[in-house]
Structures are given as C-alpha cells and as structure tokens.
Amino acid sequence: MRLYTVLNVMQAICFSCSGFAAGLPEAGGEGSVRAVQSVRADRRSGRLVRVTEFRTPGGRRVPAAQAVRPLVEHTAKKHAVDPELVDAVIRAESGYNPAAVSPKGAAGLMQLMPATARRMGARNRFDLAENLEAGVKLLKQLRERYGDDRLALAAYNAGEGAVRKYNGVPPYRETAEYVRKIEAAYQRQRAAAPPAQPGQEEPEPLRSLLVETDAEGRVFLRTR
C-alpha cells in the first residue's frame, strides 16, 4: 500500500521500555526509546512527509517494529488477540510508521479512518497507544463477528459493507492481495515462533506492563 503523510503539528513521544526491546541501554534499571516526528520533503514525490524515528538516549536508531513491540504485545494480549496477527496487520497497513496517512485518509499504525477511530474511542489517531487500542479492538470485533480471519481481514481493509454485499471476501484486487499478504506473514511468524512448553506461563514482564500518558501527551511503558 502506498502511503503519504501530511503536514501536522510535530510530536515527540517518549517510551520507557524497561529493557523489553532487545539491545536497548539501561540506566538505573530502566532503558528508554524516544520517538521523534519531523517533517521532510520526499525525494521522489516532493511532497512534505512526516517521518518518525526511534532513537536511544545515545542517539542510536532503533527499528520501529522493535521499539513498538512491547506496546503491541501489551495491547494484543489485553484483548486476547495474537500479537503476531496484530504485527502482520501493522506491517501491511503502515509498515510500522506511526505518521502514515493513506490517500483515503486512514492514519497511524493501524490506519484508522476518522469515523472508525471515533467509534473505537481513539481521539488522536497518531497517538501510538490510542491507535493500537482502537485497531486491536476493531480487529477483535471483526474476528468475533465473522468467526473467520480471512473475512475479518477483508472487512478491516474494505469495510463490513463490502463483505456483506459479496457474502465473503470482496472481489477487489487490493483486498485479495491484502488478505493474502497478511495470512502469509502471520503463518511465517507463527512457524518461526518457538514452541510453547507444557505448563509454560506468559512472561511476567508483559503481564505487568503499565501504559501511562502524562499531561504533555507522552506515552510511557513501565513495569511494576
């Protein structure tokens, strides 16, 4: 999916990941990754685009998927959705670009339309926590409604009206490719994941992850 961004008020969002992202430095027992958004001219189109970079306190760049993964894990498990499925949807929707805006106006990590964001309770579509919360809630609702991941993904991409109209995956090339791409990525991720050991419990840090927002709109991830 080709994505464009628009000029908006620049934001700076801080994350305290407590060492959840591999390789991040720890100071006083708590590592941190800072996500800074800036506006630049795209080399190919000449358009102004908003770019998000994740950096450690020392200035080292961190891949977006790695930096955001703790929040993805937390939100997905909160709503009983497989984090790997959420990850695959994000990669297909925005490529982990929190500032992404599609030609149709969908925005953020999970590419929410304004009406959908409002319905799911997200007031700021560019806020990582709000966007993820709304997107995962929508994905869960669609999976429960259709009882089929392919139909849920098709509805996420083309809308529930299109799925209802065609009584299945709409015959749209973009939607068919979207569903195929996510299914393939999801299966690869599940196959690569280490098998769960009998009686193995979920890692305690993810279950006790706290998400907080301060008065300036910065999001913090902390452990108890």
Identify the helix (H) or strand (E) that includes residue 119. Answer: helix 114-119
Burial of 181 (0-12, 13-18, 19+ CB in 10 A): middle
Residue for token digits 């990754």?
A: 33
- Of the candidates 73, 93, 130, 133, the residue annotated as catalytic is 93
CA 210 to chain centre: 17
Q: Is there a catalytic annotation at residue 93?
A: yes
CA dihedral for 120, 124, 127, 129, sign (positive or negative): negative
Report how far apart the first and last C-alpha atoms of the chain are (Å, whole number). Answer: 39
Residues recognised as catalytic: 93
